[in-house]
Amino acid sequence: MSSVQTAPETESRARALAAAQADYLFPWVRPYYSEPLALSEGEGVWVRDVDGDEYLDLFAGILTTSVGHCNPAVLDAVRDQMERLGHTSALYVTEGQIEAARALAEITPGSLRTTCFTNSGTEAVEAAVATARLYTGRHEIVALRLSYSGRSTLTSHMTAQGAWRLPGGGTDGVVHARSPYAYRSPVGGGPEATDFFIDDLVEVIETTTGGKPAAFFAETIQGVAGVIVPPPDYFQRAAEVIRSYGGLFIGDEVQAGFGRTGEHWFGIEHWGVEPDIMVMAKGIANGYPVGATVTRPEIAEAWQGPSISTYGGNSISMAALRATLGVMRSEDVPARAAERGAQLRAGLEALRSAHTWIGDVRGLGLMQGVELVTDRARKTPDGDRAGALLEAAREERLLIGRGGLNGQVIRIGPSLLITEEELDEGIRRFGAACRRIDG
C-alpha cells in the first residue's frame, strides 16, 4: 500500500504526489510544468499518468529510453538476469560485463576498445578526466561554455551555465572556451565561424592555462545548451589544437550517441574524428543506470592504482545494455534515426515558416532543437514563450524538453524506434501547441 495519503476525490492523484514530493525530496528534484506530471506507465513512445491520461513522449526521459519504454527484449533480458544473478560488485569477473564491453568495442570509432563501467554520465565524465590526467601527468581541462557535464563537484564546475553550477569554490584546473554556437556567433555561421571558435580555443589555452592542458572536453552536440551543432570542421581542428599542446580530446556522447544523430553510431563520426576518450550513458541501456568511459588500451594502462565502482558493471544493468544494443543493431537505429530525423526536421522547418517567433531549427537525426526568439533580427531569446509552449504541448498530450541558457530552446529527442505515423502525430500535436501560444 502506498505511504502517500489519499487525496480528496476533487483533487487529482498527481497533485497529492507532487505535494508529497515537496515534503520528502530535495528541492533540486524539480519536475516540469506548473502542475507536475506524475507518470505511472509506458510502452514504446506512449506514457500514461496516474490519473489515466496518455501522452506521446518526444523527449524519452531526456533522450534515454532509446528503444522505447518497457521494450520487450530489454525486459526479457533483465528478468532472466535477475533470476540468475543480481549484484556481485566489481571484485568478481562476470561474463555479462565482458560481453557488454566487447559489444561497445564493436561500434566505437577506431582503436577505442577498453571500457570502465559506472552508473551515470556524471561518473563517466569523472573517470574520463581522471584517466586523461593520469595519462598526461597534467591537471588542467578545457571545456566549453554552455556545456553540461553532471552534478558532482567536478562536473558541475565543468558545466558552464550558472544555474547548474554548485556554489562555492568549485575545483581548480577547469577553463572554458567559447561554444561553437553558430546561430549566436558574432561572425555568423559561414566559413569564418570555425576560425573564430578555434582562435578562441587557442587563446583560452595560452592565457588561462599553463599551456599544458590534460584534455579538451566537449559534447559532440551540446544538449542542455539547446542542441548546438558545431560547424563542419570544428572538431577536426579542435582535436588538432589540443593534441598540438600535448593534451587529449575527450568526446561526450552521453546524449548524441548510439545512433541518435543518424547514419553513424556516434555524433563525432559525422566529422571523421576519433577521440582519445569517449564518455556515454543515457540511451546506452534504455534507462537502466549505466555510464561508460571508453579509450585506447595504452591510455587505460595509465590507471594502475586501485579504484572501484560498487555498482559499475552490475549484472542487471549489463544485461539491459547488451539487450539494448542488440535491439539497436537489429533495427539499424542509425539508419532509422536518419530517416525519421529528416521527417522531424521537415515538420519543424514548416512550423518555423509559420511562426515568426521560431528563430532557428537545428540538430542531427532524432536530436533536434527549436530556438524561440522575440525578434528574429536581434535573435533575442524568448524563454517565457518556450515555457508557455512546454505547457501548451502538455495540453496537447505531448512531452517535449527545454534547454538553452535562457530556457529558450525546445528540445526533441524521442525513442529511436518511433514510427513514421507516431512522429507525424507528434509533429501535428507540436504544431497545435504552437498555435495555442501564437500572437
**Res 437: pLDDT:** 96
Domain 31-63+333-436 falls under CATH 3.30.565.10: no
Domain ranges of the chain: 31-63+333-436, 72-331
pLDDT band at 69 (very low <50, low <70, confident <90, very high): very high
pLDDT in tens, 260-295: 999 999 999 999 999 999 999 999 999 999 999 999
State the number of CA atoms in the 13 A half-sphere of 376 facing the CB. Answer: 10
Which of the following CATH numbers is that of domain 72-331: 3.40.640.10, 3.40.50.300, 3.10.150.10, 3.30.565.10?
Answer: 3.40.640.10
170: confidence class by pLDDT, cuts 50, 70, 90: low
pLDDT of res. 169: 65
pLDDT at 103 over 90: yes
Return the closest-CA partner of residue 377 out of 401, 347, 357, 396. 357
Q: What is the mean pLDDT of the chain?
A: 95
pLDDT in tens, 301-327: 999 999 999 999 999 999 999 999 999
232-242 pLDDT, tens digit each: 999 999 999 99
Question: pTM for this structure?
Answer: 0.95
Instruction: Check if the beta carbon of residue 279 is closer than 8 Å to that of residue 250.
Output: yes
pLDDT at 11: 64
Q: Which residues of 265-282 are buried (b: 16+ CB within 10 A; e: fewer)?
A: bbbbbbbebbbbbbbbbb
Distance CA 300, CA 108 (A): 15
pLDDT tens figures, 318-358: 999 999 999 999 999 999 999 999 999 999 999 999 999 99
* pLDDT computed for residue 60 by the predictor: 98
Determine what percent of the chain is predicted with pLDDT higher than 70: 97
14-45 residue pLDDT tens: 899 999 999 999 999 989 999 999 999 999 99
> What HEC string does the chain produce?
CCCCCCCCCCCCHHHHHHHHHHHHCCCCCCCCCCCCCCEEEEEECEEEECCCCEEEECCHHHHCCCCCECCHHHHHHHHHHHHHCCCCCCCCCCHHHHHHHHHHHCCCCCCCCEEEEECCHHHHHHHHHHHHHHHHCCCCEEEECCCCCCCCHHHHHHCCCHHHCCCCCCCCCEEEECCCCHHHCCCCCCCHHHHHHHHHHHHHHHHHCCCCCCEEEEECCECCCCCECCCCCHHHHHHHHHHHCCCEEEEECCCCCCCCCCCCCCHHHHHCCCCCEEEECHHHHCCCCCEEEEECHHHHCCCCCCCCCCCCCCHHHHHHHHHHHHHHHHHCHHHHHHHHHHHHHHHHHHHHHHCCCEEEEEEECCEEEEEEECCCCCCCECHHHHHHHHHHHHHCCEECEEECCCCCEEEECCCCCCCHHHHHHHHHHHHHHHHHCCC
Residue 24: half-sphere exposure toward Cβ, Cα within 13 Å: 8
Average pLDDT over residues 92-111: 97
